[in-house]
Amino acid sequence: MTNMNLGTIERNAIKPYSSKWVKQKAKVILKAFAVLATLSIVVTLFIMCNQLKEANQNLSEQYSATYKNMTAWMDEAYRLNGEVQRYSEENSELLMENEILADENLSLYEDLQAAQDKIDELTMLLEAREQEEAEATKLVHEYSNITLSEYEWELFPLIVALEAGDQSNEGQRAVIEVACNRVNQSGWGGNTIKDILLAKGQFETVKWLDNPYNLPGEKEINNIKYVLENGRTVLPSSDYVYFASYSGANGYDEIKIGDHYFAKGGNR
């Protein structure tokens, strides 16, 4: 009886202790783990919050710096835009001034062109007038009254060739002018070239007409034409009616042209 009670008591004592106690201890342990897990989560969240706070602060600082940079960039952009607008306005003013200058230059060019056209017109008129005056001079001079017949166009060049065939154009024209001066003055045998050339005692080379030692060419003909067209251009005046191959032959106020001496006739 005693043994059975003791065994029963031990089992009864062990059984409650084993299940209840274990459950209680398990609950305690689970609570402890729960608390630890909660603490771990809280710590982790706290750390994450601190990290997020630092990250947010860094982001805020970066944003602030970025905002400042963007503000500075915007200010610079506004400044540059203002410069561009100012340059654009200045460029527009310059373009307008250039257009005005271009119009003025065009007007000046047109004025200059008109002036040049007027100058050209006046130059043409002046040249035409000078030509008319030259023609008038050719037509009206002291030898304008002298014309040559066909025979005189043969005789006169031959006499010039015999008298001054070896002289320059100036020397030949001086001889021709002497003959023309004699035509325009009385007392020289007539009032034509033929009369003057063939008059006795005037041109000694007349004796060589049938057997000339020098024949005329284009030079003599051209010099006669020149004198008849342009008048007296070599001798100082129409009073020069003498010429000779030596000095002091006749007349006064003697001048030398080439190999000949020319002098005035009549009274001093």
Per the structure block, which two tokens stand in for 175?
């001889």
Decide the pairing of beta strands 260-264 and 252-257.
antiparallel
Q: Phi and psi for 57 in degrees, rounded to 5?
A: -65, -45
**Residue 254: predicted pLDDT:** 95
Whole-model pTM? 0.50
Residue-wise pLDDT for 117-140, tens only, equals 889 888 888 888 777 766 655 557
DSSP-assigned letter for residue 148 = -
Fold of 145-264: Arc Repressor Mutant, subunit A (1.10.10)
Nearest to 217 by CA among 257, 263, 157, 169: 157
In the structure, what pLDDT confidence band is assigned to residue 17 with cuts at 50, 70 and 90? low
What is the percent of the chain with per-residue pLDDT over 90, rounded to a whole number? 40
